[in-house]
């Protein structure tokens, strides 16, 4: 089949943007360039993969899992069913954290990424701060395997640790960052998320705060005198997480920041940063 025929085949079944994204990926073209290749014959194995991918999307499988990768902060990361699909909000968490680090710390800085999943947070920070010492932690061995593949692909030298938050963590850090599970166990969420992404990376107890409680209970034992904590949160959790922080930590500055949609999405905790 030719490129034009595959586009027509896809457009009968999916939104045209998804069709071009899939076909561009498999033919190694920018989707916007496909119109320059309409008469090109496509190999049979690529045709088969393209059609199978369309079938998968029609069963409500996320396109990121179908493609097997996602772009995050300018880098391509492998994603599988064993890791959460990175969101734009997490890019904003990284962007703001970089701003804080560059403002208040001199490299090298020691960073801990708790609940790293595919590794997008910790590996991006390492790419942007190459002299930093970065450790990525996750309770899921399968998630760590994905993160390790991403580290290899991005040529980043980081440390990996299988641990339930701080259980196996030793030492102290300048920056601890986490996008932990924060969905309430009975909360209604988009079916495409509920049916595909790992529950271990989504749910955090009756109130959605279990992971913050676990982190904050032990975090004091793993920070330097000057430190920054950075958390992604659910858009209704700003006050609850702030109260947890004030319960466990003294003499800190707490800042809730909004995402580009104006929703509470991040909390930053600073101690002795001036």
Q: Write the pLDDT tens digit of every residue in 2-12.
A: 999 999 999 99
Q: What local confidence, expressed as pLDDT, does residue 228 receive? A: 98
Q: What local confidence, expressed as pLDDT, does residue 107 receive? A: 80
Q: What local confidence, expressed as pLDDT, does residue 182 receive? A: 95
The string of DSSP codes covering 40-70 is -B--HHHHHHHHHHHHHHHTT--HHHHHTEE
Q: How far apart are CA 228 and CA 181, in angstroms?
A: 20
pLDDT below 70 — which residues of the chain? none
Q: Are strands 110-114 and 133-138 parallel, antiparallel or unpaired?
A: parallel
pTM of the model: 0.92
Q: What local confidence, expressed as pLDDT, does residue 1 receive? A: 92
Q: What local confidence, expressed as pLDDT, does residue 255 receive? A: 96
Fold of 82-271: Rossmann fold (3.40.50)
Q: What local confidence, expressed as pLDDT, does residue 210 receive? A: 97
Q: What local confidence, expressed as pLDDT, does residue 274 receive? A: 73
Q: What local confidence, expressed as pLDDT, does residue 68 receive? A: 95
> Do residues 126 and 132 lie in contact, with contact meaning Cβ atoms separated by under 8 Å?
yes
Q: What is the pLDDT of residues 194-236, one digit of tens each?
A: 999 999 999 999 999 999 999 999 999 999 999 999 999 999 9
Domain ranges of the chain: 3-59, 82-271
Q: Which residues of 12-45 are buried (b: 16+ CB within 10 A; e: fewer)?
A: eebeeebbbbbbbbbbebebeebeeeeeeebeee
């Amino acid at each position: 089949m030719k490129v034009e025929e595959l586009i027509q085949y896809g457009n009968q079944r999916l939104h045209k943007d998804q069709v071009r994204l899939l076909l561009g990926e498999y033919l190694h073209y920018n989707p916007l360039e496909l119109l320059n290749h309409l008469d090109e014959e496509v190999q049979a194995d690529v045709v088969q993969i393209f059609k199978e991918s369309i079938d998968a999307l029609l069963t409500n499988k996320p396109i990121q899992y179908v493609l097997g990768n996602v772009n995050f902060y300018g880098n391509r990361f492998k994603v599988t069913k064993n890791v959460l699909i990175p969101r734009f909000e997490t890019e904003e968490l990284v962007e703001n954290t970089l701003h804080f680090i560059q403002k208040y710390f001199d490299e090298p800085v020691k960073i801990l990424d708790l609940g790293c999943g595919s590794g997008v947070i910790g590996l991006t920070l390492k790419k942007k701060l190459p002299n930093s010492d970065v450790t990525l932690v996750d309770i899921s061995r399968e998630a760590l395997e994905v993160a390790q593949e991403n580290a290899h692909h991005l040529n980043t030298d980081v440390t990996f640790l299988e641990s339930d938050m701080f259980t196996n963590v030793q030492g102290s850090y300048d920056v601890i960052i986490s996008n932990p599970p924060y969905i309430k166990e009975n909360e209604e969420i988009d079916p495409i998320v509920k049916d595909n992404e790992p529950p271990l990376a989504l749910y955090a107890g009756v109130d959605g705060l279990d992971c913050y409680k676990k982190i904050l209970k032990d975090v004091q034992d793993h920070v330097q005198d000057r430190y920054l904590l950075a958390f992604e949160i659910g858009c209704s959790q700003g006050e609850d997480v702030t109260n947890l922080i004030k319960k466990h930590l003294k003499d800190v500055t707490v800042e809730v920041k909004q995402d580009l949609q104006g929703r509470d999405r991040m909390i930053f905790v600073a101690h002795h940063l001036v």
